[in-house]
Amino acid sequence: MRTESTANNERDEHLGDDVTGDRSARRAVTVFPALVLLAGALGLLLPGGFTGWSEAVPYLLGVVMFCMGITMTPEDFRGVVRRPWAVALGLVAHYVIMPGLGWAIAHLLDLPPQLAAGVILVGCAPSGTASNVVTYLARGDVALSVSVATVSTLVAPLVTPPLTLLLAGEYLPVDAGSMVTDILKTVLLPVLAGVVVRLLAGRYVQRALPALPWLSALTISVIVAVVVAGSADAIKSAAGLVFVAVVLHNGLGLALGYGAGRLGRLGEPGSRAMAFEVGMQNSGLAASLATAHFSPLAALPAAVFSVWHNVSGAVVAAWLSRRGR
């Protein structure tokens, strides 16, 4: 009979194989922020080089989400059924804490409308694509992390647009219906396509798995470069304020996510998973939606979040891993 602990161990081992061990996973998590920083610098220093690229952002995000889908296995979906209470708690915590924090920080810092809408949109996005690896490095409950990330991504078309309308509508007009369509095209369909490819060509996909995180990292880096280039003039005056907002948003999200896990009696590994599933966002999706529905300036918080949450996630994971369970 399979126990919850056995399932966790198997999932830990599976993820460990996918990232080629702990050393490779640490390298991916630490190199990714450097790539994003480099991309942001290119976009800032050479904005003319990315003129006209904004229309490609949704397609680039589709590549990232396809890579996410192709790494999913039936075990990921069985994990949702195995622990519905824990997954539901993670889902509610994610879509309550981060949107609420985004709204509160926008008011606290008295952000301009474009930046306020961008911060809130980041909060309304699903879990970040790197949250599972960071949970693994932190010696957290990887099975729970994967389950929450999967469900938060699949329900994003139904949750992200109305939350954005509710919380950001006071700053800018929000076309929730159009946003639903965009999320379906750039998130849900590519993820489902990846799942189907994994089921039909698993043997060949297995050989390509080590390259997929790097493909995702490079693609997200290009998205960041395009977003930064589109708002290069505004960054000089707004970057400091946006950085403060992002650090507060991410830091409080990690802390409150961990607290939600403790209150829900998920244990130490489960609480660590909750911290990263709540505090790390799909900032690539937020940047794409902000560019399409608001403005390049509104996408700036997502671009900064892309860098910061990977840096903070790696640091927090290293600290937690040394504490043991």
pLDDT at 118 over 90: yes
How distant, in Å, are the alpha carbons of 125, 139, 227, 234 from that of 268? 25, 9, 37, 42
Rounded CA gap, 72 and 190, in Å? 12
Average pLDDT along the chain: 84
pLDDT at 165: 94
Q: Are 98 and 249 in contact (CB under 8 A)?
A: yes
How many whole angstroms separate alpha carbon 242 and alpha carbon 116? 9
Q: What is the pLDDT of residues 151-203, one digit of tens each?
A: 999 999 999 999 999 999 989 888 999 999 999 988 889 989 988 988 888 77
142 CB neighbour count, 10 Å cutoff:
27
Higher pLDDT, residue 21 or 230: 230
Chain Cα centroid distance, residue 286:
9
Average pLDDT over residues 30-39: 79
Q: 52 in helix, strand or coil? A: coil
Show the DSSP H helices in the chain as ranges. Answer: 4-18, 21-45, 57-70, 74-82, 84-108, 113-124, 131-137, 142-154, 156-168, 176-183, 189-200, 202-208, 212-230, 232-263, 267-279, 283-293, 300-323
Query: Across residues 69-88, what is the average pLDDT?
Result: 82
Mean pLDDT for 80-86 is: 85
**Per-residue pLDDT tens digits for 230-282:** 777 777 777 789 999 999 999 999 999 999 999 999 999 999 999 999 999 99
57 closest CA partner among 237, 306, 224 = 224
Q: 47 vs 29, which has greater pLDDT?
A: 47
pLDDT in tens, 271-320: 999 999 999 999 888 988 998 888 878 988 998 888 888 888 888 988 88
| pLDDT over 90 percentage in the chain | 34
Cα gap 5→200, rounded to integer Å? 29
> What confidence score (pLDDT) does residue 168 get?
94
Query: What is the structure's pLDDT at 112?
Result: 92
Please write the tens of the pLDDT for every residue from 52-75. Answer: 888 888 888 888 888 888 877 777
Task: Please give the pLDDT value at position 24.
Answer: 52
For residue 121, give every residue at least 6 positions away whose Cβ sits within 8 Å of its Cβ, in sequence order, or none: 102, 164, 168, 286, 289, 290, 294, 298, 301, 302
Select from 248, 275, 246 the least CA-distant residue to 259: 275
Separation CA 192–CA 160 (nearest Å): 18
Tokens of 67: 């890579």
The segment with the largest mean pLDDT, out of 5-14, 172-181, 204-213, is 172-181
Radius of gyration for the chain, computed over Cα atoms and rounded to the nearest angstrom: 18
Q: Confidence band (pLDDT; 50, 70, 90) for 27?
A: low
Which of the two residues, 93 and 10, has the higher pLDDT score? 93
Rounded Cα distance, 35 and 223, in Å: 11
> For residue 209, is pLDDT > 70?
yes
Neighbours of 203 (CB within 10 A): 6
- Of residues 152 and 129, more confidence is placed in 152
Two tokens, residue 225: 């470069």
User: Does the pLDDT value for residue 10 go beyond 60?
Assistant: no
- Confidence check: pLDDT of 12 > 80: no
Look up the pTM and report it: 0.83
Burial class (CB in 10 A: 0-12, 13-18, 19+), 96: middle
d(CA 239, CA 301): 9
Say how far apart CA 222 and CA 205 lie, in whole Å: 24
pLDDT at 21: 43
* Rounded-to-integer distance, Cα 287 and Cα 296, Å: 8
How confident is the model at residue 101, as a pLDDT? 97
What domains can you pick out in the chain, each with its CATH number? 4-323 (1.20.1530.20)
The amino acid sitting at 191 is V
pLDDT band for 3, please (50, 70, 90 cuts).
Answer: very low
